[in-house]
Structure 1
Amino acid sequence: MTETKHVQIPVGNDRLDLSRPHFVGIGGVGMSALARMLVEQGAQVSGSDLNTTDVTEHLVAAGCRIHAGHHVSHLKEPSVVVWSSVIAEDNLELAAARSAGIAIAHRSHVLAQLMNDGGRRSVVVAGTHGKSTTTAMLAAALGQRDPSWAGGGALLDGTNAHHGAGDVFIAEGDESDRSITHYRPGVAVLLNADHDHPENYVDLAETIAVFRDFALAAETLVVSADDPGARAVTELVRGREGLRVVTFGQSKGADVRVTGIEAAGPCTWVQLEDLDGTPVTLTVRVPGIHNALNAVAAFAAGRVLGMDAVELAAGLGGFEGIERRMSLAGTADGVSVYDSFAHHPTAISADLAAARTLTTGRTVVVFEPRGWARTAALGADMGHALAAADEIVVLPVYSTVSVLAAGISTDEMAKAAVAAGGRVHQVTGLGEAEGVVAGLVRPGDLVLLMGTGDVNSLGARILAHRAATVLS
């Protein structure tokens, strides 16, 4: 996720007129999902962003009116102006909306209203890692019921939201700016809780407190029995009046208990015991044990909603993944390239473990750390996690937020990786990274492009380089 500022999001009690919304920063993952959902409902959606991207092009094709750059002239009598936590308070369009008396709403207020409208059953998926994948998995699992859903990652066809005719609304909740506490879901799903977003959280205890408040606002909590942070949340809320707790995982005593996991390349087969003890087998077509457990979380949430176990398993079996979550970018001359969104030590370790199951050759990771605060706080832990790769190419820190960055670099990360046995190549940019990777890889290797910034743009360049090598 984008490194956010420490923001104070006002409580949104007023009902919003969403007939003509204007999104400031419409190309963001959360903003674009809401824009897509609203335009599918018939709203006249407009928005602006600094640059045009594949995301904004998809939105234009869907019927949104989008401007490049921010300017007061882009406000064409909108019913509401929507902002997210990465937007500066002095943004020209926000300032103009305030002066004109136009309603202004945080994206979480819009999502909360959409979720609560129409009497639909709502599910919010939360956690430090895996929530985008699990949100999309649950939407796939319920596919025959045509649910509405809004995620933080796009399916492989570029879709990150859908306004469905069914009676279920599935959304990804964002803890980075604490906006997750604005929701009142029927079902809250909590995958894990790690210390992250150091620009907004002092320590893990603060993160657990936010997830506790999120859980207490729900009717049912579907929560990992394996993750220590999630277990801490469970201990704080179990027994509270009006809250049902359903656990899932490999731990003894989990309500939906995994009894076996078998991985073979990009597929994993999961044996589990359903809520009533009935055995169920899930086929998960995205790599990694962590993704297998994400599928179990989606299954458990579906069962809490009353969906048939066989139907859920079939829907999950058809899920093919989302962009940049261990997704295959391509292969050339015996080298495969995968995209990973991992940017936290826990996620880095999980995706590198998954990469090991996809190749008998070496794993070469190109890592682009995101955010000055995260790099300063977690850089050494990132380096230790990266040491699981055979070769590590480290790019400079990527950040879209203006913060004091004096003295912060990737040096501590590199030192930690070397100390843990890693081979590190620090580079100055994407161009140098491309050349370093070209000199490192050989047939049979897997290149993992890891991070949330621009590192994934290397995929096509690396594949083209390998293809040219074959022809030369």
Structure 2
Amino acid sequence: MSRGENVKIHFIGIGGIGISGLAKYLYAQGMQITGSDIAQSNATKYLASYDIPINIPHSASAITDQDLVIHSAIIKPDNVEVQEALRKGIKVLSRKEALAFILGKKRVFSVCGAHGKSTTSAILSSLFPHFGAIIGADSKEFGSNVREAKSESIVFEADESDKSFLNSNPYFAIIPNAEPEHMESYHHNLDEFYGAYHHFMQMATKRIINLADPYLKGVKDLESIVLDPQNDITDISFNLCNDEPQTTFTLKNYGSFSVWGFGEHMAQNASLAILCAIEEYGEEQLPQIKANLAHFKGIKKRFDIIQKSSTIIIDDYAHHPTEIKATLKSVRIYADLKQINKIIAIWQPHKYSRVLDNLTAFVECFENLCDELIILPVWKAGEAHIDIDFETLFKHYNPVFATHLKRVGESLHLYQDQTMIKTLKDALIIGLGAGDITYQLRGEK
């Protein structure tokens, strides 16, 4: 199938961030897009504003004369639109399968890793403003998870959770880390997991890797541009610029850089992107690279400061112990600079399997990094209930357990079912999780 402007593509589950990103990008390339989902969302409303036909809910009538149907991972084979497409002889692909069609002829700057890939991808998109981009979160620079540019080059956040990063056709492979995660996709086999990463790197023409990761440090058979943070990143400092967090650091012999956000991990993510830009543009373009870096303003749900007052509320997607610890260290820096004495962490665990796979690390990751811990019910993400004794496991934090929270003015109210049990205010409050906590913090649920 050609990729011309007359190609008609229908997306099932178009409201999801991964599928909507592909739809936005292909629409910008001139293709004719339709879609459907079970309910309205911000993504469906955005796409509908471009007069893209969106069916709510799924319906066989949405399948007409399209050339291709692409569906999200959660769509089952018995979906009425999938069945109708097959009946009509229309090719049906999963998002994972469709990547080869979408990215096959592009120069893909492909970013993958357990942590930091969205931030690194968004920074890369700031450094390459003329490239297209599909990332896993909304960049505050351009207010979307997609930079809808017609270009042979694209920044792409690749997903290792379902092995789809192997379909991303990497020209440049950028890897912040390769910590084991989503091991169910790899049959809980580390050899299979690391083998997939190695294959991803082999596929790429160029590679940038972070030697802070033990596995990446041991990769010796592939020529790569390497970042050794311990030696390559120096003079790290943190400050507020127009009341926004900023990390300043020196990278190798390239001079000083400043990036939005706090933390050593921010310096590392930015450094990987900068090294990629130097390789692409040449060292003589360092002034322009630094100017472009200033355009990065963070991404939604990553250290997302949603309220600034006597009660500061920050929303963060961190849902793995490594991420939570890094985020809380950043919060501590912010609290110190703002002279705030109390940090309250609200944690919504994400998936029983993730909690059990990383139980010891979860128990330890809040240590000395918050003054009060509130634990919400596990966001199941489709999993069956598993009893986990959070009260005993986390008792040394003396946590508060609540079923949900509500935003009321500048405060947060904690509830146990229908009973309000506590009001949170006059503190720095950080919400942690990949479930619906983001909507609770914003008063949208």
In structure 2, do the counterparts of structure 1 residues 361 and 336 end up closer, same or farther at CA, with 3 Å as the change threshold?
same
The answer on whether the counterparts of 2:108 and 2:168 sit within 8 Å (CA) in structure 1 is no
Q: Deviations over 1:169-225 (max 9, x none)?
A: 110100000111123311100110112114323154433222111111101110001
Instruction: Identify unmatched segments of 5+ residues in structure 1.
Output: 1-13, 463-472
The amino acid that maps onto 1:113 is: F
Residue type at the aligned position of 1:271? T
- Corresponding letter in the other structure for 1:385: C
Match for 1:295 among 262, 270, 292? 270
Residue-by-residue CA offset, 1:12-59 (whole Å, 9 max, x unaligned): xx7677821111111111111111111112222111122211122122
Deviations 1:215-264 (A, max 9, x none): 111011100011223324xx2xx334xxx301113134xxxx21221112
Aligned to 1:229: 215
Maintained 8 Å contact 2:179/2:213:
no
1:176 correspondence with 2:164: no
C-alpha distance in structure 1 between counterparts of 2:100 and 2:166, whole Å: 10
Q: Distance in 2 between matches of 1:225 and 1:293?
A: 10
Q: Where in structure 2 are there 5+ consecutive unaligned residues?
A: none
Q: Distance in 2 between matches of 1:279 and 1:16?
A: 40
Structure 1 residue matching 2:184: 3-state secondary structure: coil
Residue 296 of structure 2 is matched in structure 1 by 319
Does the 8 A contact of 2:233 with 2:267 survive in 1?
A: no
Secondary structure at the aligned position of 2:7 is classed as: coil
Match of 1:286 among 255, 261, 276: 261
Match of 2:177 among 144, 169, 192: 192
Two-structure CA RMSD over aligned residues (Å): 2.5
Contact 1:121 1:168 in 2 (8 A): yes
Q: Matched residues in 1 for 2:178 and 2:86: separation?
A: 37
Per the alignment, residue 38 of structure 1 pairs with 26
1:212-251 matched pairs, under 5 angstroms: 212-232=198-218, 235=219, 238-240=220-222, 244-251=223-230
SS of 2:86's equivalent?
helix
1:439 alignment counterpart: 422
The alignment-based identity, stated in percent, is 26
**Structure in which a larger fraction of residues adopt strand:** 2
TM-score by length of 1: 0.83
> Which letter maps to 2:293?
L
**Aligned partner letter, 1:354:** S
> What is the CA deviation profile of residues 417-472 of structure 1, one whole-angstrom value per residue up to 9, with x for unaligned ones?
33xx42312222345983269835342x111111111101222349xxxxxxxxxx
- Match of 1:329? 306
> Which of residues 115, 128, 133 in structure 2 aligns to 1:149?
133
The number of residue pairs the alignment matches comes to 423
Q: Report matched runs for 1:369-384 at 5 Å.
A: 369-384=349-364
Match for 2:273: what amino acid? A
Distance between the aligned counterparts of 1:147 and 1:381, measured in 2? 38
Label 1:69 to 1:311 Cα distance change in 2 as closer, same or farther (>3 A). same
**Structure 2 length as normaliser, TM-score?**
0.88
Greater relative CO (CA pairs within 8 A, separation 6+): 1
Structure 2 residue 109 is matched with structure 1 residue 126: no
1:60-459 pair list within 5 angstroms? 60-117=48-105, 120-143=106-129, 146-156=130-140, 158-201=143-186, 202-232=188-218, 235=219, 238-240=220-222, 244-252=223-231, 257-265=232-240, 266-273=245-252, 278-307=253-282, 308-332=285-309, 334-359=310-335, 360-387=340-367, 388-401=369-382, 403=383, 405-409=384-388, 411-412=389-390, 414-418=391-395, 421-430=396-405, 434-435=413-414, 439=422, 441-443=424-426, 445-459=427-441
Residue pair 2:29, 2:150 contacting (<8 A) in 1 also:
no
- Whether the aligned pair in 2 keeps the contact of 1:82 and 1:106 (CA below 8 Å) is yes
CA distance in 2 between counterparts of 1:438 and 1:285 reads 36
Contact 1:58 1:158 in 2 (8 A): no
